[in-house]
Amino acid sequence: MDNTMFKNTTSGEWAVLGLSVLFTITIGLSKPLETVIVSLFFLYMIYRIVVKFYPKSQNWGAVSWVVALVGIPTIFIFILAGAANIFGMTGSAANVNQKANESMPFSTSQPNPAIANTYQPAPTNFVLSGAQPVTLQTTQTVSPYRQITLNGDQDSTIANKISQAIDYLNPTVKNFANAQVQKSSSGTQSNGKINIAQVGDVWQSINNQWTYVSDPPNFDYWTPASDSINNGLKGNCADFAVLNAAVVESIGGSARVVTACAPGGSPCHAYAEESMDPSELQSIADYIGSRYGSKQINYHTDIDSQGNTEYWLNLDWQADYPGGPFFKDDGTFNIYYPNGYHETGSDTTYSKNEPNVVPTITPVTTLDSIYPITVANGNFVNIPYNTNSYYSFNGNSGNIYHISVSAGSLIDILVMDQSNFNSYQNAFKSGSAISFNAVSYKSVSSKDFTYILPNSGTYYVVIDNSPFLNGGADAKTSVIASTKIILTGNF
């Protein structure tokens, strides 16, 4: 064999060849030819670069070249990995901030009640105009609830789903809750507990705006509170309960969700409850009585693991006020907490123990700290021709509302109760003649007036942009209108 062809081969070149073969044996057995070629190319490039910038390296032995050819790419890989880790972490933080800043904006004033346009689809996004959202930094707090170990049974599975749905640390939930609280409700109780006025603010705002949407049969899904906000405050009783529990938690309270069924097993229902400070029971009853005109508050009692009595205020959407009458269950109910704990409650005597009632109510002497309460804050709404828009709100007999409407063209303004609204709306949609009772202002472009509720219940302020009413307006074009509704006191 003629060895002259290898006479000028350097130690470095032999090292390149040897390492390529070694890499092929240890790494590339499935495709040896491709591995040899790739390894040979990269190692030879490193060899040529070293020789070019350090000519004395041509005098190195084979061992020195092996160390260089293996060590140089290893060092280079470590440098790249370190840089990627540093810049990758920075990018993740930027991503988090960007997502937080993309949160849905909510007004710093009180939000609108539910607005519906006849013959118009509901908007896909729930957006209240006003200040841009604040990016919130949240810290996980120590849970005030009992600890739980899930055992995989059906109740534990439901408890876990409800726990995940009560996402009170989500910035969307916190921003929304803050936006519902009135300025007059600032602060906490003297002992640092949650202010019952703030609980009333968030419950009333959600209750005014809520649109009930049923789930399909056997649909086992608990909508996260943040999703209910993004969906425009729509859902069933379970969604309402989860949202109320989440917003109460997000403003410093303790809440839970209760599920129960009526005698006979149907219908079933869900509602939220808020923990009350035992030392503040009477003052809470006084406040709710003065704000909502109620004669009593309703709550459940429970015994915690230390033997202390807990008091849980009813926040059901079917009640007329926080602490309103309970759903009539079959004597048992399931209780679910934000940390995943769950338990079963029961009434030893149905008619006696539910509801529990504070025996006496001492009304407060002044309402200055309560009123005014904004129901609709004057956002502009486009009302196409031959349609109407309406604002719904719940109130008690004697509540005094100041209503202000301003429009770009002549419109008709109506105020009516639930029964007359149903008659009016059905006739409006069908185009049939109808007689109904309402306070009306026809062919006006603006109007400020006071309305005192004759009875407790749900009422509607309707902006009619059509020739439907006899002697009414007929703009023949779409109209931009703004409506403010403010609860100013009680008669």
- The CATH number of the domain where 196 resides is what? 3.10.620.30
Reply yes or no on whether the pLDDT at 465 is more than 90: yes
Kindly give the pairing relationship between strand 211-212 and strand 234-235: parallel
- Does the residue 366 lie in any domain? no
Average pLDDT of the segment spanning 37-55:
74
Reply yes or no on whether the pLDDT at 94 is more than 50: no
Query: What is the percent of the chain with per-residue pLDDT over 90, rounded to a whole number?
Result: 27
Both 73 and 187 in one domain: the answer is no
Both 405 and 347 in one domain: the answer is no
The whole-angstrom separation of Cα 110 and Cα 103 is 18
- What's the total number of domains in the chain? 3
Query: Which of 85-89, 311-315, 410-414 has the least mean pLDDT?
Result: 85-89
3-state SS assignment for residue 305: coil
Both 335 and 433 in one domain: the answer is no
Is the Cα dihedral 442, 448, 450, 453 positive or negative? positive
What does the pLDDT read at residue 412? Answer: 95
- Does the residue 122 lie in any domain? no
Average pLDDT of the segment spanning 7-14:
67
Reply yes or no on whether the pLDDT at 420 is more than 90: yes
Nearest Cα to 272, choosing from 347, 222, 213?
Answer: 222
User: Band of the pLDDT at 83, cuts 50, 70, 90?
Assistant: low
What does the pLDDT read at residue 155? Answer: 66
Both 323 and 212 in one domain: the answer is yes
Both 280 and 189 in one domain: the answer is yes
Query: Which of 161-170, 243-252, 394-403 has the least mean pLDDT?
Result: 394-403
Average pLDDT of the segment spanning 187-199:
70
Both 98 and 149 in one domain: the answer is no
- Does the residue 23 lie in any domain? yes
The whole-angstrom separation of Cα 151 and Cα 215 is 28
Tokens of 421: 């609204």
- Does the residue 125 lie in any domain? no
If you average pLDDT over each of 109-113, 391-395, 406-410, which comes out highest? Answer: 406-410
Both 18 and 91 in one domain: the answer is yes
Average pLDDT of the segment spanning 253-270:
89
Both 386 and 327 in one domain: the answer is no
Reply yes or no on whether the pLDDT at 272 is more than 60: yes
Q: Whole domain around residue 84: which residue ranges? A: 7-102
CB 411 within 8 A of CB 465: yes
3-state SS assignment for residue 112: coil
Both 197 and 308 in one domain: the answer is yes
Both 88 and 160 in one domain: the answer is no
Q: At what angle do helices 196-209 and 237-250 cross, to 10 degrees?
A: 150
pLDDT digits (tens, 9 = 90+) for 331-366: 888 899 998 888 887 654 332 233 344 434 433 333
Both 17 and 68 in one domain: the answer is yes
What H or E segment, with its residue span, contains residue 271? Answer: strand 268-276
List, in sequence order, the alpha helices (H) in 259-354.
Answer: 281-292, 350-353
Reply yes or no on whether the pLDDT at 122 is more than 70: no
Average pLDDT of the segment spanning 267-274:
92
Reply yes or no on whether the pLDDT at 388 is more than 80: yes
CATH number at residue 450: 2.60.120.680
The whole-angstrom separation of Cα 15 and Cα 6 is 13
